[in-house]
Structure 1
């Protein structure tokens, strides 16, 4: 009794009226699984052995069942495996099983290029949805024009619906780049038909689809020649310029030799003869404009003058409306041209602060890094750069002693620059744009006569010839050029000391320039690009200082709007490009 009395007195007094939550150790589950994993490795209390080929993996039924519906159904059902000590698994690689069982016990797995194609089907089979989703996320981050068709097929085979949808959209979004890779050239005819019939295909002109079809056919002409009509049926010939139909489509031997293709060509020619109001009611699958669905976009502003040449690269996220820094270029560069091909961004030529250069640097958005590319034939700063049929064209510019009338293009596949026909006049500070399969050189400065130019000429890659078109309504050197809905916009620029905020557009069908609403600020040497049906102008200078602001133009309302977020560094002579937001 004495001991009991002492024990009662030793008990701490409780405070009544307060109910405390149950104690929970935050690391309990983790420590338990660490112990279970140690036991598995030492084959302690394991009650099943998984066998694949010559690999045997001891494990615990309860652990496998808790993490995988596949094993849960196996061990709790009426299957013979429910009581078996050894279970041989089919249709799974031993390396994949080892990694997946490690995941079951540790919750960790490393997905890489080397194991993703092995892990994903195995995770699907064992119903380890977390690993399957991790594999899909990895493949999505690796999407590139060179592999998106293969990833799409892989996603379709293993019923990964989100990855399938994303890779399909990516393929449509990057069609003009996808067609240059072996995956496209190896597609069966039915798959090519399905791809080019999509309304969501993103192309700057329908000519790109036609050229892709011809390239696919010629890749194995003896076996593919019979598919020409099947494919051309899905090319929207009526949406092509009449000149291209006559000079390129009608002249193509594969079209000439096929009666069905001739019918599609005649349909296109007749469509061009219709009056605008007749075109509105004349509807066939080939007269419907494509309506692509874009992936999230960001804008790169590359290098520039602030006030000297800089290496800085800034990025604007259109959705988040924020600016952030990216990897700097290898060297200072302003007055360059910028182009995007195969999801890579190229900074071409320019001025490094002391010399006009012919060097080219390439930016990989997924790696956020720059590498060197083959240099141009000529030194060019204040040049115009554009992409036409997968080739990067560098037009005009200044080589340090005189303005240039020459032009050249870069064949990325062969890694070579080649000269093309020269323009009719020297053009430095020239703007360029591509409409209807033609390259337009807009305004600039003619060093010989020391005049800013209002003249414009266009280059036809089929004939290798430059042809003059209607002049602008005023002289513009250092104007930005952008394209929306087949119309060419010349933005700002200057005529001597006069810096302009005026903007005009060129309609190739009427060969006429007309004025549209003015910008809020005078700008020359600004970056101009289009995105989502809007025209953006970034930076530049107003004649006295560099600008960090940017504004956008809505052609539907004919209104310019200043955007609230300015660049971190005001700059002129910068290059600009729109790319898909990297999935880093």
Structure 2
């Protein structure tokens, strides 16, 4: 009897425990579409003016809406409808709003969609700021970042500063510093106030070929308006005159009448000349303090080197990165598809892999890498299929030159403008060039060597393209034929590295001086290389991977022009890569 009661108690307890477990394990029902459907209905109701309890007025436009919806999505409207007199009104005049911006933003509040364009971004951003719709404001800032160009970056910077968009302001300032030489040639620069010019020329991070660029831009700004002459001394004080050559100081700076008429400017010139004379005498220590003798440092961020895709021995997707500060290699996000024999260029801090071969076809496609997010996204495709293509950035655009389309070598070339997001054909080269090397020097694009499929010859010839005249001009030939040579630029000199002439893979290197239009040999690399990537950093020229005619190489070596010596990087890539793309970018924070 006791046992039966005990058994019943156990059964009841077990049943209760089971019921409790079932109750705990039963999932809570959730409908992910509920909120979306609710807003879809509210949007329909607003368009039909059903249950609307407020009308917003801007200019001649009236926008019906629901206070609850507006307050739920905008802190501005929440405060208006809970704490101010407007909470009692059903018609509210918004004097500070652009009518188009108000209509777009109210529509966004209901639909969560908005199309930011070049035509509406300047009215949307301040309106979104006022309504505290931070996601729309950020979308406007992201859009403006993609529109940065030497002709508009100063205006975008001022716009970002006016509306306290710190990320856009920082990106704009960084862009201006990186493209300073092109920016100061635009009308926006000449319209700047003195305070902004002073801030620019004082920057330690300007990317310039020489200090002459800064001096000339100051003089151009002063000459643009004679009322600016009283600003000359305060601007010249921040030009690093001691870093100019003695010849330039004597023949250009000292001959400028405005400088000679200003006592402070004359003292700056005397100081610079004294520094040059002491340096010429070989004095290691300057006996008195001379200002502005330190070169500008374009970027305070550590650098990384990306090695993209390549042939190992087939086309691959992998991308690896060398961190110069930590002196180590590591993998980053793979490309969306396999790619070798592509051209690579950096534009506004992002890396573009252009054309190439995917293991089956020569492609027109372009992928773009954002290091901050460690991801690749598709960009606008070229007009022509191009593998073994030469690619370089010039004046804020990407040029793709020559290459092989799967049938023949190409003499065509095209340019990508990030503002229009379109590729446009430019005048063709006189000669077909696949496996061509491309470099930019003094605002001109050089196409070096390559293979002429028509005559079946490797080339020693070199041509350069002037984007202003749109004319190709032949310059001095290299001393030897080079197809698949790596091209790099360092201190105003263009280097042709390795390559091959038919069966012979070369380790020789030669350098082109545009001032004399001559090629000169420099020290040979440690190993023979063709189809290697070449980049420059900190006055060194890096040559990455390639192949020796039979094996893909994982080694990297760098050239120091001061001592004319090549040195191997201690650590190699994880795999050998030929036909890989190489780029230097800032290491993400």
Q: TM-score, normalised by structure 1?
A: 0.70
Q: Is residue 177–residue 341 contact of structure 1 (8 Å, CA) maintained in 2?
A: no
Deviation at 1:411, TM superposition (A): 3.5
CA distance in 1, matches of 2:179, 2:205: 11
Q: Is residue 271–residue 290 contact of structure 2 (8 Å, CA) maintained in 1?
A: no
Deviation at 1:538, TM superposition (A): 3.6
Q: Do structure 1's residue 144 and structure 2's residue 149 form an aligned pair?
A: yes
Counterpart in 2 of 1:44? 50
Q: Is residue 556–residue 569 contact of structure 2 (8 Å, CA) maintained in 1?
A: no
Q: Is residue 442–residue 455 contact of structure 1 (8 Å, CA) maintained in 2?
A: yes
Counterpart in 2 of 1:131? 136
Deviation at 1:36, TM superposition (A): 2.8
Task: Choose which of 31, 34, 42 in structure 1 pairs with 2:37.
Answer: 31
CA distance in 2, matches of 1:383, 1:247: 39
Q: Do structure 1's residue 205 and structure 2's residue 255 form an aligned pair?
A: no
Deviation at 1:529, TM superposition (A): 0.7
Q: Do structure 1's residue 458 and structure 2's residue 465 form an aligned pair?
A: no
- The Cα offsets for residues 273-312 of structure 1, whole Å up to 9 and x where unpaired, read as 2456426995624535324246755374765999999878
Q: Is residue 366–residue 381 contact of structure 2 (8 Å, CA) maintained in 1?
A: yes
Task: Choose which of 135, 140, 162 in structure 1 pairs with 2:167.
Answer: 162
Q: Is residue 405–residue 426 contact of structure 1 (8 Å, CA) maintained in 2?
A: yes
Tell me which moved more, 202-211 or 118-127.
202-211
* 1:345-424 map, 5 Å: 345-348=398-401, 359-364=412-417, 370-376=423-429, 385-393=438-446, 409-412=464-467, 414-417=468-471, 419=473, 423=476
Counterpart in 2 of 1:61? 67
* 1:457-496 map, 5 Å: 458-460=513-515, 465-466=516-517, 472-473=522-523, 492=525
Change (3 A) 1:297 1:122: closer
Q: Is residue 157–residue 169 contact of structure 2 (8 Å, CA) maintained in 1?
A: yes
- The Cα offsets for residues 190-213 of structure 1, whole Å up to 9 and x where unpaired, read as 212211211122234333333443
Q: Is residue 536–residue 550 contact of structure 1 (8 Å, CA) maintained in 2?
A: no
CA distance in 1, matches of 2:90, 2:493: 72
**SS of aligned partner of 2:96:** coil
Task: Choose which of 554, 557, 563 in structure 1 pairs with 2:573.
Answer: 563
Deviation at 1:542, TM superposition (A): 0.7
Q: Do structure 1's residue 238 and structure 2's residue 242 form an aligned pair?
A: yes
Counterpart in 2 of 1:518? none
Change (3 A) 1:213 1:350: farther
CA distance in 1, matches of 2:122, 2:249: 44
CA distance in 1, matches of 2:74, 2:512: 66
Structure 2 spans left out of the alignment, 5+ residues: 1-15, 302-347, 561-565
**SS of aligned partner of 2:513:** strand
Q: Is residue 530–residue 546 contact of structure 2 (8 Å, CA) maintained in 1?
A: yes
For these two proteins, the number of residue pairs brought into alignment is 509
Q: Do structure 1's residue 80 and structure 2's residue 85 form an aligned pair?
A: yes
Counterpart in 2 of 1:540? 546
Task: Choose which of 92, 108, 118 in structure 2 pairs with 1:113.
Answer: 118
Tell me which moved more, 54-63 or 241-250.
241-250
* 1:91-110 map, 5 Å: 91-110=96-115
Counterpart in 2 of 1:267? 271
Deviation at 1:230, TM superposition (A): 3.5
**SS of aligned partner of 2:514:** strand
Q: Is residue 486–residue 534 contact of structure 2 (8 Å, CA) maintained in 1?
A: no
Counterpart in 2 of 1:343? 396
